[in-house]
C-alpha cells in the first residue's frame, strides 16, 4: 500500500504522506510535500491567513493581525483571490476573506542555518490577480533548489483596496495589507526555517510598483532588506495619483452613498454585488494616459510626503529595477489586460493605423486641453515630431509601433530612469536592466510589430509562459538568458548583489549616473553604459519644464520642470 501511495506522489508531484507540520505562535500549520524537477522535495503551506477577514466593520479599514487558531490549520491549497474591480476577471474564485499568504520551502532544513526569504507581490494593475495565478511549481523548482524560501502574498484590490475620499477613507488599504503580510512573515518565518533579517520583496508590473512603493514608506522599516521591481516603479504615472478620488466619488454616487462622514458606514453595509452593479454603468476602464482607475495615493499617513522626498530619506536598501524594451506592446498589440485599460488597437485595424491615427491618439491622450490648455497644439507638434523624427514613414507598422513606444515611455521608461537617477543621487544601491531578448513564440504568426514586452521575463523567473509556450532547455540562447535571471535574482536575495556568470552588474552611483550603467539583456546579456532611454527622458523633462505639465507623473510642474509637491 505504501508503495502505491509513493507511486501516486511521483505521478501527481504533491504528496500528503506524513504531511509537514509547523508550530507557530498563531497555531499549528499543516502543509503538503511537492517533488521538484530536480527530484528533491519542497514543502508547501498554502493559504495561511495573516489578517482578520476585512469584512463588515473591517471593510475599508487597515488590516488587523489574525487571531491565534486552536485546531491545526489546513494549508494544502491556495485561498480565494481578492475580489477584482471587474467581476469578469475573477480567477480563481474570489472572496473578501482573502488576506492569505503561502510559504514554499525546501524539505529537510538545517535548523542551525536559516535561509533567505523572497516575498512575491503579484501584479494586475492593483485591480486583479492572485497568488494562485503564479503557482508554486516554478518557485519551488527555481528558488527552493537554491535554498531560498518563497512567500506569496495577497492584498485587497480595486475599489476595496484603494477607494478614497481623502479624509475618512485615505485609501491604500491594499498596500497596508502588503505591510501586514510582511509583519506576519517577521513573526513566523523563523518557524519555517527562514531568516527574518534576510527578506527580499519582489514583484512585476503593479507588483513591481508595490515593492518600490513599500520601500518608500517609513512603516516598512525593518521588514525587508532589498527589493526587485520589474516593470513597475513608484515614479510611474499609474503608481500614485489623486484621480482615484474622482473615481471614488463617482462610485459612491452610483451606490447612493453620501460623500461625507456617512460614506464609510454606507459602504460597509452594502453587499459586494452592489459594488459590481455600480461599476457596470461607470465602466471599469478608461481611454486615458491615466492608465488605472484604482491605485495608491500620497495619503499623509502611509506616505507622509511625496515619493521624490521619501526617496531622499529612505533606508539604503538595494533595488533591482528594469523594464522590457517595448513594454506597451503587451497592451497595444497583444490586446492583453483589457480589464484595466482601453489603449489597445484591434488587430483587424493594425494595417489601418497610419499617420492620422497616431496624430489623433497623441491629441487624445497627451496633447490635450486638460493637460496643456492653450499650449496643446505646440505640445502636439513637438511630440509628433519627436516620435516620427519629422518624416513620412510608409513601412508597415511604423505608426503603430510609435504609438506603443509613446505609451512605453510615458507609462514605464522615463519614470524608471527618474527613479534610478534619484536613488543614485541619494546613495541607494540600484541595479538596472533592460530586456530586449524575446522569443517569437509570444506573438501570433504574421505580426509585424513585435519585441520584448510586459511580462516576457516570467518564463525565466517563474517557469510561467503567459504569452506563448517555448522550450528553454536545449536552446543555448534561452538557457543563457534563463541563467542570467536566475543567478542574478538568487544571489541578490542571498547577498544583496546580483552576481552572475554572464555579465558584470554594477550599481548606479552619483559618479556614473550620467552614463547610467545597466545590463542589456539581449541574446547574450552584457553590461552597457549610457543610452538608457536618455533621449526620451530629456525630451519629456523638457516638455514638463517648458509647458508646466509633466506627462510622466500627470502633475503640474513649476518653472524648473519639477512636479508641484
List % helix, strand, coil for the chain (3-state, nearest 5).
40, 15, 45
Concerning whether 205 is annotated as a catalytic residue, the answer is yes
Which of 327, 401, 419, 457 does the annotation list as catalytic?
327
Q: What is the mean pLDDT of residues 333-362?
A: 94
Say yes or no: domain 319-355+386-483+498-556 is CATH 3.40.50.1820. Answer: yes
Task: State the pLDDT confidence band at 110, using cuts at 50, 70 and 90.
Answer: confident
What pLDDT is stored for residue 395 in this prediction?
A: 84
- What phi-psi label fits residue 337: left (phi over 0), alpha (psi between -120 and 50 degrees) or beta? left
Do residues 58 and 65 make contact, with C-beta atoms less than 8 angstroms apart?
no
Is there a contact between 212 and 319 (Cβ–Cβ < 8 Å)?
yes
Distance CA 105, CA 111 (A): 13
Question: Element (H or E) spanning 250, and its range?
Answer: helix 243-255
Q: Provide the CA 371 distance to its chain's centre, in angstroms.
A: 27
Catalytic residue (choose from 130, 164, 205, 306): 205
Note the Cα 153 to chain centre separation in Å.
Answer: 12
Q: Which residues contact 180 (CB under 8 A, 6 or more apart)?
A: 50, 51, 62, 63, 65, 99
Given pLDDT bands bounded at 50, 70 and 90, which one contains residue 552? very high
Cell numbers at residue 562, please? 519639477
Contact (CB, 8 A) for 478 and 439: yes
Kindly indicate the confidence band of residue 11, based on its pLDDT and cuts at 50, 70 and 90.
Answer: very low
Domain positions in the chain are 2-307, 319-355+386-483+498-556
Cα distances (angstroms) measured from residue 85 to each of 124, 210, 422: 10, 18, 33
Q: What is the distance, to the nearest Å, from the Cα of residue 535 to the centroid of all Cα atoms in its chain?
A: 26
Q: Decide if 2-307 and 319-355+386-483+498-556 have a common fold.
A: yes
- Architecture of domain 2-307 in CATH? 3-Layer(aba) Sandwich (3.40)
Which is catalytic among the residues 85, 122, 295, 454?
Answer: 454
Mean pLDDT of 304-311: 97
| The predicted structure's pLDDT at residue 91 | 67
| Stronger pLDDT, 110 or 206, i.e. the higher one | 206
Question: 374-418, pLDDT tens digit by residue?
Answer: 999 999 999 999 999 877 887 889 999 999 999 999 999 999 999
Q: Which of 20-24, 26-30, 41-45, 392-396 has the lowest average pLDDT?
A: 392-396
pLDDT category of residue 458 using cuts at 50, 70 and 90? very high
Report the candidate in 276, 388, 271, 401 with the shortest Cα–Cα distance to residue 327: 401
Is residue 327 part of the annotated active site? The answer reads yes
Cell 513608484, located at residue = 234
393 is catalytic: no
Q: What is the number of other CB atoms lying within 10 angstroms of the CB of residue 527?
A: 13
Going by pLDDT thresholds of 50, 70 and 90, the confidence category of residue 284 is confident
Distance CA 98, CA 272 (A): 14
Q: 559 falls in which pLDDT band (50, 70, 90)?
A: low
Question: What's the confidence (pLDDT) of residue 3?
Answer: 29
Cell numbers that stand for 69 in this block? 487558531
Amino acid at each position: 500500500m505504501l508503495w502505491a501511495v509513493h507511486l501516486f506522489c511521483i505521478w501527481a508531484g504533491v504528496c500528503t504522506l506524513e504531511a509537514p507540520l509547523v508550530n507557530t505562535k498563531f497555531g499549528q500549520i499543516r502543509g503538503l510535500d511537492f517533488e521538484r524537477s530536480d527530484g528533491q522535495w519542497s514543502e508547501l503551506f498554502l493559504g495561511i491567513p495573516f489578517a482578520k477577514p476585512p469584512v463588515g466593520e473591517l471593510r475599508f479599514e487597515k488590516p488587523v493581525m489574525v487571531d491565534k487558531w486552536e485546531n491545526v490549520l489546513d494549508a494544502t491549497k491556495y485561498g480565494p483571490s481578492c475580489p477584482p474591480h471587474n467581476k469578469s476577471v475573477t480567477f480563481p474564485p474570489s472572496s473578501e476573506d482573502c488576506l492569505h499568504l503561502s510559504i514554499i520551502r525546501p524539505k529537510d532544513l538545517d535548523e542551525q542555518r536559516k535561509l533567505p526569504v523572497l516575498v512575491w507581490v503579484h501584479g494586475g494593475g492593483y485591480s486583479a490577480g492572485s497568488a494562485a495565478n503564479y503557482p508554486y511549481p516554478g518557485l519551488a523548482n527555481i528558488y527552493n533548489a537554491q535554498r531560498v524560501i518563497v512567500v506569496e502574498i495577497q492584498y485587497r484590490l480595486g475599489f476595496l483596496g484603494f477607494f478614497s475620499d481623502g479624509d475618512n477613507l485615505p485609501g491604500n488599504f491594499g498596500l497596508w495589507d502588503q505591510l501586514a503580510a510582511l509583519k506576519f512573515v517577521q513573526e513566523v518565518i523563523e518557524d519555517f526555517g527562514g531568516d527574518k533579517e534576510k527578506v527580499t520583496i519582489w514583484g512585476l508590473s503593479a507588483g513591481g510598483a508595490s515593492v518600490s512603493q513599500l520601500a518608500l514608506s517609513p512603516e516598512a522599516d525593518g521588514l525587508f532588506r532589498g527589493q526587485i521591481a520589474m516593470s513597475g516603479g513608484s515614479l510611474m504615472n499609474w503608481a500614485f495619483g489623486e484621480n482615484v478620488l474622482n473615481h471614488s466619488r463617482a462610485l459612491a454616487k452610483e451606490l447612493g452613498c453620501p460623500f461625507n462622514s456617512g460614506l464609510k458606514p454606507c459602504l460597509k453595509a452594502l453587499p459586494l454585488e452592489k459594488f459590481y452593479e455600480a461599476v457596470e454603468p461607470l465602466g471599469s476602464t478608461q481611454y486615458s494616459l491615466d492608465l488605472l482607475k484604482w491605485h495608491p495615493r500620497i495619503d499623509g499617513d502611509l506616505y507622509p510626503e511625496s515619493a521624490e522626498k521619501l526617496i531622499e530619506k529612505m533606508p539604503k536598501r538595494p533595488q533591482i529595477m528594469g523594464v522590457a524594451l517595448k513594454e506597451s506592446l503587451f497592451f497595444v498589440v497583444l490586446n492583453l489586460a483589457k480589464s484595466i485599460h482601453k489603449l489597445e488597437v484591434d488587430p483587424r485595424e493594425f494595417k489601418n493605423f497610419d499617420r492620422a491615427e497616431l496624430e489623433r491618439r497623441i491629441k487624445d491622450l497627451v496633447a490635450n486641453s486638460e493637460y496643456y490648455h492653450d499650449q496643446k497644439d505646440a505640445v502636439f507638434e513637438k511630440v509628433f515630431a519627436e516620435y516620427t523624427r519629422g518624416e513620412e514613414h510608409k513601412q508597415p507598422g511604423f505608426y503603430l509601433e510609435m504609438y506603443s513606444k509613446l505609451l512605453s515611455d510615458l507609462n514605464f521608461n522615463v519614470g524608471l530612469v527618474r527613479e534610478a537617477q534619484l536613488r543614485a543621487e541619494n546613495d541607494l544601491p540600484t541595479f538596472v536592466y533592460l530586456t530586449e531578448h524575446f522569443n517569437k513564440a509570444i506573438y501570433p504568426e504574421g505580426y509585424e510589430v513585435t519585441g520584448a514586452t510586459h511580462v516576457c521575463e516570467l518564463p525565466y523567473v517563474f517557469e510561467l509562459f503567459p504569452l506563448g509556450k517555448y522550450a528553454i532547455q536545449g536552446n543555448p540562447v534561452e538557457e543563457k538568458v534563463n541563467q542570467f535571471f536566475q543567478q542574478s535574482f538568487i544571489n541578490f536575495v542571498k547577498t544583496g548583489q546580483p552576481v552572475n556568470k554572464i555579465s558584470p552588474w554594477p550599481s548606479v552611483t552619483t559618479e556614473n549616473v550620467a552614463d547610467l550603467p545597466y545590463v542589456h539583456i539581449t541574446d547574450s546579456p552584457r553590461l552597457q553604459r549610457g543610452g538608457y532611454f536618455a533621449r526620451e527622458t530629456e525630451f519629456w523633462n523638457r516638455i514638463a519644464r517648458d509647458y508646466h505639465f509633466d506627462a510622466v507623473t500627470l502633475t503640474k510642474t513649476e518653472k524648473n520642470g519639477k512636479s508641484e509637491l
